[in-house]
């Protein structure tokens, strides 16, 4: 539900990515609060394998995030239905694990680790994107900034018993709507490893319920 544009920082003369809330939902206080929480989540993480946040602001009624502009492709497109070479797989996996370790050490669970939320730059640097569903690893303290990821059930982020994220990448406890910790992120990372090694996801079906 966010829109991302290529832009230019005229003060520092550099190209950036600008993420905004669409006008249709920018007036919704809940979405605006989530948007701001996304910025706070990303800004608390300073790691070379996590997409960096440069600034946050507002133009008229539209809030925006200024983030580093990445040139490359998503890991899903890099895999393109075929197994990666083993040395490439190990390189990418090490970078992803390092970024997840930093997030978990900061008490942040991504909750939507999947190959479409992992970016590979033209230089081979891996970046984790979209902390829109991230939450703090503390019971009943949740952060669920705006994300284009579909919600499995339409419930509030702080509601106990929710299921939120991408079904094919969820841990069992996440699918059951239970309280999560960093182990759930490691399960999703395992699914990413499987997809890099085989070129396909381990759990597929025609509907979410079947998965």
Using alpha carbons, list the distances in angstroms from residue 80 to 30, 73, 150, 196.
36, 11, 22, 10
**Is 112 annotated as catalytic?**
yes
User: Catalytic one among 9, 87, 91, 112?
Assistant: 112
Q: Where are the beta strands (DSSP E) in the chain?
A: 3-9, 14-20, 53-59, 62-68, 72-74, 108-109, 118-121, 126-128, 135-136
198: left (phi over 0), alpha (psi -120 to 50) or beta: alpha
Residue 32 has a CB neighbour count (10 Å cut-off) of 18
User: Degrees (nearest 5) of the Cα angle 18, 71, 204?
Assistant: 90
Do the beta carbons of residue 47 and residue 102 sit within 8 Å?
yes
Catalytic residues, which ones? Answer: 112
């Amino acid at each position: 539900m966010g829109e991302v544009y290529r832009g230019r920082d005229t003060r520092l003369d550099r190209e950036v990515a600008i993420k905004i809330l669409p006008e249709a939902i920018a007036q919704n206080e809940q979405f605006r609060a989530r948007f701001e929480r996304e910025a706070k989540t990303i800004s608390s993480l300073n790691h070379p394998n996590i997409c960096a946040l440069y600034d946050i602001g507002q133009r008229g009624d539209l809030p925006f995030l200024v983030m580093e502009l990445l040139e490359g492709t998503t890991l899903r497109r890099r895999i393109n239905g075929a197994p990666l070479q083993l040395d490439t797989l190990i390189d990418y996996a090490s970078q992803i694990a390092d970024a997840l370790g930093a997030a978990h050490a900061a008490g942040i669970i991504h909750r939507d680790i999947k190959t479409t939320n992992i970016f590979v730059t033209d230089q081979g640097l891996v970046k984790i994107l979209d902390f829109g569903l991230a939450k703090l690893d503390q019971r009943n303290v949740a952060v669920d900034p705006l994300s284009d990821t579909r919600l499995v059930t339409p419930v509030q982020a702080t509601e106990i018993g929710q299921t939120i994220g991408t079904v094919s990448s969820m841990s069992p406890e996440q699918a059951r709507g239970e309280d999560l910790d960093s182990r759930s992120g490691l399960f999703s990372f395992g699914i990413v490893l499987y997809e890099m090694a085989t070129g396909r996801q381990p759990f597929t079906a025609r509907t979410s319920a079947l998965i």
